[in-house]
Amino acid sequence: MTPSDFAELRAFLFVADERSFRRAAKRLGVSPSALSRIIRSLEERLGARLLNRTTRSVAPTEAGQTLYERVAPTMQEMIAAMRDVRGEADTPKGTVRINLPSVAAHQVIAPKLGAFAAAYPAIRLDLVVENEMVDVVAAGFDVGVRTGEQVGRDMIAVRLSGDLRMAVVGSPEYFADHPPPRSPAELTDHRCLTYKWAKIGALMPWQFDGEKGRTTVSVDSVVTANDVDLLLSAALQGMGIAYLVETPALPHLASGALERVLDQWCRPVPGFHMYYSSRTRMPAVVRAFVDFMRLRDS
């Protein structure tokens, strides 16, 4: 059905309902003469007279009544569906699917979930924790969460957290047997615990900033995992040195279960961002989630 077909059939149904060109024209927001031309165009295309017109009344012909009975239920469903969609676009109600890494899920999103539920009780959240890089559009997600440097340029990004810092950590027991490194170059003498993206098989590079700029160190990874908690557990058990975002390590650093090295060399990285496709209109439920979770200026 073309837009012209829809407009003409809708006009016909309004006239048949009202039994008046004037009243139907008022409902449609057009003049009676314009409405008459629309009906005439429809009749010419169908090759049948649809309405009997007199100076005092309008009534469907036999062909018009047949068309009305066939088309009216479908048209009413279409109009109701369009009305419902417009309502959904303005009312935050429905489900938001979010793909996010575990650190962001536990450290940034989880603390706000209760307040969000209180503010938007009609919104359901489908949170999928996945540390791999994901094409959120192809996978059917409304929103993705990753660090700023991981967000594609074709996406709209909204800051979720402040900048993050990387940390190189190990247990006191490990450093008792292995002198702490004084520079990134000395990491080659250590047992290292490295994050690995399982789907692409790539290791997170150990990158540091110094007086001569950024440097990447090739380390001996005795443990690789695509889960930060596993790397943290291995470090706590003295298996080696881990290189990871500092946030999950902070409680262990505060308790003394872990010690930090090469702090002055660790660069900040762009914080977590929510991102979504720039090619689609944002539904009200997604807008509500993004606006609620976004980082506020202090």
The 10s digit of each residue's pLDDT in 33-92 is 999 999 999 999 899 999 998 777 788 999 999 998 888 878 777 766 666 566 555 567
- CATH number, domain of 229, equals 3.40.190.290
- Tell me if 140 is assigned to some domain: yes
What is the C-alpha to C-alpha distance for residues 99 and 228, in angstroms, rounded to an integer?
A: 17
Top-ranked range on mean pLDDT: pick from 52-61, 158-167, 257-266: 257-266
> For residue 211, what are its two tokens?
């007086």
- Name the residue with tokens 């409902």: 27
What is the C-alpha to C-alpha distance for residues 166 and 140, in angstroms, rounded to an integer?
A: 31
What is the C-alpha to C-alpha distance for residues 156 and 288, in angstroms, rounded to an integer?
A: 15
Of 144-158, 204-218, 249-263, minimum mean pLDDT range: 144-158
Percent of residues, the chain, with pLDDT higher than 70: 93
Looking at residue 120, what is its pLDDT? 92
144 and 168 co-located in one domain: no
What is the C-alpha to C-alpha distance for residues 185 and 208, in angstroms, rounded to an integer?
A: 10
Is residue 102 within 8 Å of residue 129, measured between CB atoms? yes
- CATH number, domain of 74, equals 1.10.10.10
Helix (H) or strand (E) holding 123: strand 123-129
Looking at residue 23, what is its pLDDT? 86
202 and 158 co-located in one domain: no
Domain that residue 254 falls in: 164-269
Q: Half-sphere exposure (CA, 13 Å, Cβ side) for 98?
A: 26
Q: In the predicted model, what is the mean pLDDT of residues 7-14?
A: 88
Looking at residue 83, what is its pLDDT? 60
- Tell me if 227 is assigned to some domain: yes
**Contacts (Cβ under 8 Å, ≥6 apart) of 115:** 292
Looking at residue 298, what is its pLDDT? 44
- Tell me if 242 is assigned to some domain: yes
40 and 131 co-located in one domain: no
- Tell me if 219 is assigned to some domain: yes
207 and 233 co-located in one domain: yes
65 and 21 co-located in one domain: yes
142 and 112 co-located in one domain: yes
79 and 36 co-located in one domain: yes
- Tell me if 298 is assigned to some domain: no
207 and 196 co-located in one domain: yes
197 and 244 co-located in one domain: yes
Looking at residue 140, what is its pLDDT? 86
What is the C-alpha to C-alpha distance for residues 156 and 139, in angstroms, rounded to an integer?
A: 17
What is the C-alpha to C-alpha distance for residues 233 and 245, in angstroms, rounded to an integer?
A: 14
126 and 169 co-located in one domain: no
**Domains identified in the chain, total number:** 3
What is the C-alpha to C-alpha distance for residues 137 and 80, in angstroms, rounded to an integer?
A: 29
End-of-domain residue from the set 25, 56, 90 = 90
End-of-domain residue from the set 90, 119, 140 = 90
Higher pLDDT, 120 or 200: 120
- Tell me if 109 is assigned to some domain: yes
Encode pLDDT of 174-192 as tens digits: 999 999 999 999 999 999 9
176 and 150 co-located in one domain: no
Looking at residue 98, what is its pLDDT? 94
Torsion of CA 173, 177, 181, 184, to 10 degrees: -90
> For residue 144, what are its two tokens?
């993705």
Q: In the predicted model, what is the mean pLDDT of residues 92-107?
A: 89
**DSSP-derived pairing of the beta strands 123-129 and 94-100:** parallel
58 and 105 co-located in one domain: no
Looking at residue 164, what is its pLDDT? 86
End-of-domain residue from the set 73, 90, 107 = 90
- CATH number, domain of 140, equals 3.40.190.10
The phi, psi pair for 146, rounded to 5°, reads: -155, 170
Looking at residue 26, what is its pLDDT? 87
Top-ranked range on mean pLDDT: pick from 55-69, 231-245, 280-294: 231-245
